[in-house]
Structure 1
Amino acid sequence: MLFDLTDLRLFIHIAELKSLTRSAERMHMSLAAASNRVKELEARFGTRLLYRENKGVQLSPAGETLLAHAQQFMQMVERLKSEMQQYNNGIKGHIRIFANTTAVTEFMPEVLGRFLGVHPQVNVALEERLNQDIVRGVQEGTADIGIAAGPVQGAGLEIIPFSTDRLVLATAQDHPLATRGQIGFAETLDYQHIGLHEGSTLQHFLARAAHEAGQRLQLRIQVRGFEAMCRMVENNVGVAILPHSSALRLSRSMKLALVELTEPWAVRERSVVVQKLDALPLYARELVDFICTMEAEHGGLRGTTGTLRA
């Protein structure tokens, strides 16, 4: 036989981590054992699969081909496992999700709370990533499901829109901008902003928007979540831009004013991103259904249409 499942899992990890050492650690095997498996694969296929460099390893063209087939093969294995679960309750499913900031902090906790309650045999790994990393993760097979906001493009992917949200400006109620009905993003850049942590998808997006406007986002402080952000806003530390769904929820317990942004990009469509929905394990397809169904139950937009209110 040319390979086994361990070979394929190892090779996928190598492609993801760009490191033979770290891949061996993840597979709980010695570096020598991992290296031997790669050499045996190369010998069996009669071609080089990896280029070993000082900073790690890179896939050869043949390695890229093997990776694509390995990812598809492992997805088929996962689907087989899920279909057989009804006969063996001891098997557990695992779903890897890359998602943007709003998904991780706002609606996915509720979705996963209900989903895992009726699927105790399934485990989920949820990671916050930038939009481009979400798409790349799904394309490369390091994520089963991606959740992104805004325009999503990716060759060979299925993109399933499920709701829309709007970015708004949050200020303290006595702030000079609090009584504005609408405001352009550029005008908010005259004020100190409260931002999310480095690596946040939203923070990365706003910094890029400011750069494209020929200005700089003046960050007074960066925090870990929307609640901390709005606490700072409430106490006039600065203004903040965040999803209206989050701002509306937090305004019920804080003294905030919400102002609509006039930029077209402020209205963002949320989408589930997968390689091929039908190829996902049954439990992963059911999670996609959960996401879409629960958002529909909340009106799809969670209060983001019509007049903004705090």
Structure 2
Amino acid sequence: MTGVALNVHQLHIFYTVAERGSFSAAAQALHMTQPAVTMQVQALEERFGTKLLNRTTKKLELTEAGHMLLPQARKAVELMRDTDVMMAKYIEDLKGRLQFAASLTIGEYVLPRLLGAFLRRFPEVSVDMKVMNTTEIIDAVAHQGLDFGIIEAPCDVPGFDAQPVMDDELMLVVPKDHPFASFDEIGLDAVIREPMVLREKGSGTRQIMEEELHRHGVKESELRVVSEFGSTGAVKSAVEAGLGLSILSVWTLKHEISLGLLKPVKITGVSFRRQIFAVRLKSSILPMPAAALLHELRELSHDQ
């Protein structure tokens, strides 16, 4: 072993190559050229004086030394990541460009409000936020270089890590002139007799609603669904027009509630609560602006 100090960046590159299974995939994830990735792994091998990876035309395999180094490299990556998250709240002079994605409800209704406070605190940070569905978010984080994604359900995709970043609650929402609008709470039996306007099947909002109602013995077929829409905005407009009632995130209702157009009503004994998750590649290290943003989202969402 040489006397050169151990390079944590090289450990991160080695870990990413091992996790991704190829130099080209690691280069894409790390925003590096493939020759640069290869050179850094070779430098790490020279430092330890042993081969860490066996390169064949068909696949990449860890040597015995590589298998021994991998958990240590993982610890180093996790330590760097945790340190950035811990220190993010103390950094006042952040600069850089954030690239991430968010699901429809979160991207359209939640993050714009919370991002305003973040960008006022860090005016040298710019944000590029894409709004897409969960499947597209996972693909974009894996292959398009996004720092992270914000989704409405846990993620169990191999190679990804998901951490809760904020809480959300869904509530029954009724138009201002509906009889239910005079109540703060209404029974479930009364609700399921009403016409309903819902988000499309497969949406995070629809999934949470169906799962909670099922827990209370209500099947989807028992609901009087008169219309389904692919956006929360369309659902709110339909409810406001008197087409039916709906169940939506309270994050999405703030404007209409303040104007007195819609009224959220609690369903007795029913709680549509969920967590919103930040997802990223396990092999990635968030840039400081990204770590700071996720910290701010956790803090700001609790203050709303």
Q: TM-score range by the shorter chain?
A: 0.5 to 0.7
Report 1 or 2 for greater relative contact order, CA contacts < 8 Å, sequence distance ≥ 6: 2
Alignment match, 1:242: 248
What is the SS of the residue equivalent to 1:132?
A: coil
Alignment match, 2:188: 184
In structure 2, runs of 5+ residues without a counterpart are 128-146, 279-286
Report the CA distance between 1:231 and its aligned residue.
0.7
In structure 1, runs of 5+ residues without a counterpart are 150-164, 273-279, 301-310
| Structure whose CA Rg is larger | 2
Given the superposition, is the C-alpha separation of residues 95 and 29 from structure 1 closer, same or farther in structure 2, using an over 3 Å criterion?
closer
With structure 2 as the length reference, what TM-score do the two structures score?
A: 0.56
State which of 27, 30, 35 in structure 2 corresponds to 1:27: 30
User: In the alignment, does 2:287 pair up with 1:265?
Assistant: no
State which of 199, 209, 212 in structure 1 corresponds to 2:212: 209
Alignment match, 2:150: 128
User: In the alignment, does 2:88 pair up with 1:66?
Assistant: no
What is the SS of the residue equivalent to 1:263?
A: coil
Distance 2:70 2:189 in 1: 45
Alignment match, 1:118: 121
Distance 1:252 1:33 in 2: 55
Kindly report which structure 2 residues correspond to 1:1-310, keeping only aligned pairs within 5 A, or say none: 3-5=7-9, 8-9=12-13, 11-12=15-16, 15=19, 21-31=24-34, 34=37, 44=48, 63-76=70-83, 92=95, 104-123=107-126, 127-133=149-155, 146-149=164-167, 166-172=169-175, 181-184=185-188, 187-188=191-192, 191-195=195-199, 198=202, 200=204, 202-212=205-215, 213=217, 215-216=219-220, 220-225=227-232, 227-244=233-250, 246-253=252-259, 255-266=261-272, 288=295, 292=299, 296=303
Q: Residues 169 and 273 of structure 2 are in contact (CA less than 8 Å); yes or no, is this contact kept in structure 1?
A: yes
Distance 2:115 2:218 in 1: 40
- Structure 2 residue identity aligned to 1:130: E
Given the superposition, is the C-alpha separation of residues 234 and 294 from structure 1 closer, same or farther in structure 2, using an over 3 Å criterion?
closer
Structure 1 residues 268-299: Cα deviation after superposition (integer angstroms, max 9, x where no partner): 78999xxxxxxx96995697468636854xxx
User: Across the two proteins, how many residue pairs are aligned to each other?
Assistant: 262
With structure 1 as the length reference, what TM-score do the two structures score?
A: 0.55
